[in-house]
Structure 1
Amino acid sequence: MSNDVSVIGLYILDVLGRPVERIPERGNVEFIDEIRLTVAGTAGGTVVDLAKLGLKALAVGAVGEDEKADFVIDRLERHGVDASGMQRLSGVPTSATILNVRPNGERPALHVRGASDHFDVAREDWDRVLAPPIVHLGGTGLLRRMDGEPSRVLLEEAKRRGRTTTFDLIAANEETIALVEPLLPFIDYFMPSIEEARIMSGCDTVEDCAKFYLDRGVATCVLTLGGEGAYYAGRDGTAFRRPAYRVEVVDTTGCGDAFDAGFIAALHHGMDPETAVGFAQAAAGLVATGLGSDAGIRSFEHTLDCMSTWPRPA
């Protein structure tokens, strides 16, 4: 059975707890309402949401040979993801994060980089990894072996094969642009947060940020603006800003990954740009209503209904 999308990059086990008001002193205990384990990361969170939205998705990343890896692979398969592209690497732990979610939604993190630093896509795997019509690379910045030239070569090959390429990153700083800029001519949809876009470009306004990346080869920028919505700008001159939906936010973990998944699903279904951004925002809004990167999203139809009925600021 052929896949609709290949999701390459950062796969993490998240351990989340909420609400965390303080870390107890010495060996004391604080009681909280909820603890969850989820598959997360700029690829992992996206691929799970894509499966929940009804796409046939291939997961391409790496885990260790530990109990965390067992959980990640099991959860991917339970969601209906094709996990045959996941590598199990010996001698390194599965990448994992402990997230202490505060009552206001902030989420200070403790992270083990682990297997994702040792992941790469071998040329002999290109035929399988690049077979789907949409190829998403997520996690640049925390893919030590994959970052830079290996990512450029992979995206260039994806474009040579006629694939639609989408891209997101993580943990951007002023140096990250050196990793990202060579990739830009091979990216159809560039989907960072506005904070990441500003840090890498040195630009201030949303419009200037988008122009920076368009001038360097990206076909379309889709910048997430948090509670202010999203901004879309294409080389064809299409540009618009769309306000966010009003939802009761529980946890923003994975909202960017859900936006990516929603937008990719919209591409798969042939939606026009404004509808695609709205659908992506609805997917992100659903994830914000629960704990963890896989919260909220039930199905394509449910997300479409939320997009049609949820209120937006006037």
Structure 2
Amino acid sequence: MNKPRIVVIGSLNMDIVVETSRFPRVGETLTGEHVHFIPGGKGANQAVAAARLGGQTTMIGSIGDDMFGKSLIEYLNQDAISTDHIKRIADTPTGIASITLAESDNRIVVIPGANAKCLPEHIQALEQVISEHDIVLVQLEIPLETASAACELAKKLGKTVILNPAPARKLPESMLKCVDYITPNRLELETLTGIDASGDQLQTAMEALLEMGPSCVVTTLGEEGSAFLHKGESLVKVSAYHVPVVDTTGAGDAYNGGLAYALAAGYALNEAVVFASKVSAMSVTKLGAQAGMPTQADLNKLSIQ
């Protein structure tokens, strides 16, 4: 059987991760415990997730002409991800994410750097490359016009499009109509629709997002699990797996990479959502977004509830 083929179009960052006992208050200086330089970026994280699971994965994006950019390519190559179509931008720094870990949670500030120079023409020039894949996975840490161009080109080519709308922002209808699966968390769902997605309002918000154009909404709900909804069908909820949490950074990226892999491999949506939930749960048991991405062997040998 051929490997599932996934092309990820998105960001590449170097994550500067600081561990501390608690988050500082406004104006307060704390002494941290550890600092780590870890490859990241939503696009690269999701590419690693899909590749570790066995997907034939290609990464499209931009890096700076600096040591961080060189390191990010080396890390991706370790997971056999095709990096031939990552553009190196002169006189521009590679994207950075500043991440503070404390109290089993994280707070993140992203500086786009070269990610902001990943342009629509870069994507359009790779039509042949994109046509060779089953799933096109896109996020919003690159310019909106680039993400939109990627979705539109993928739909023109008849590819299945997964959009992870993070960081959340209002999206054009022309883009949303090209999306097969959109994967917001609860806060992103609220931003996209303007509807409180708590409690019984979750389905209302998901229905509103469906009306904007996507074929299916898959909402991640943290410890509550996830839910998915097709237009005209009933809401389906999937329970979360519960594991000891080390680092939640990249949990959503693990979910999206797992979902992309499962759909490309031919799983039914319910099976794909369960699989993505397990991948996401496994990812938080290790430090670092990419380091925490599990393999199939990891999923098979570790029992989680």
1:266 maps to 2:262: yes
Q: Residue 18 of structure 2 contacts residue 32 of structure 2 at CA under 8 Å; is this kept in 1?
A: no
What SS does the aligned partner of 1:262 have?
helix
Mapped pair 1:59 → 2:51: no
Q: How does 1:1-314 map to 2 (within 5 A)?
A: 4-21=5-22, 30=31, 32=33, 34-102=34-102, 104-122=103-121, 123-138=124-139, 140=140, 142-144=141-143, 147-148=144-145, 150-172=146-168, 176-177=169-170, 179-204=171-196, 205-235=201-231, 237-304=233-300, 306=302, 309-311=303-305
Is the contact between residue 63 and residue 69 of structure 2 (CA under 8 Å) also seen in structure 1? yes
Amino acid at match of 1:96: I
Overall identity of the aligned pairs, in %: 23
How far did 1:152 drift? 3.1
Question: Unmatched 5+ residue regions in structure 1?
Answer: none
Aligned-residue offset at 1:180: 4.5
Looking at structure 2, the residues matched to 182 and 135 of structure 1 have their Cα atoms a distance apart, in angstroms, of 17
Letter in 2 for 1:129: I
In structure 2, distance between residues paired with 1:249 and 1:300: 20
After superposition, the C-alpha distances for 1:250-289 in whole angstroms (9 at most, x for unaligned) are: 1111111000011111112211222211110111111111
Deviations 1:46-74 (A, max 9, x none): 00111111111000000000111011111
Q: Which moved more, 1:191-200 or 1:295-304?
A: 295-304
Give the drift of 1:235. 2.4
Q: Could you tell me how far 1:22 is from its partner in structure 2? A: 6.0
How much does 1:130 deviate? 3.6
Distance 1:279 1:270, change over 3 A: same
Question: Which whole-Å CA distance do the structure 2 matches of 1:91 and 1:303 have between them?
Answer: 42
- Secondary structure at 1:37 match in 2: strand
- Taking the aligned partners of 1:113 and 1:154, their CA distance within structure 2 comes to 18
CA distance in 2, matches of 1:236, 1:302: 37
Separation in 2, partners of 1:293, 1:180? 29
> One-letter code of the match for 1:60?
I
Does the aligned pair in 2 maintain the 1:206–1:231 contact within 8 Å?
A: no
Distance in 2, Cα, partners of 1:42 & 1:119: 14
Count of aligned positions: 296
* CA–CA distance in structure 1, aligned partners of residues 285 and 278 of structure 2: 11
Normalised to the residue count of structure 1, the TM-score between the two structures is: 0.87
Q: Which runs of 4+ in 1 moved over 4 A?
A: none
Counterparts in 2 of 1:2 and 1:286: CA distance versus 1, 3 Å: closer
CA RMSD of aligned residues (A): 2.4
* SS of corresponding position for 2:164: strand
Task: Please list the CA deviations of residues 14-54 of structure 1 after superposition, one character each: whole Å capped at 9, or x if unmatched.
Answer: 1223244366xxxx99462x543332222111001111111
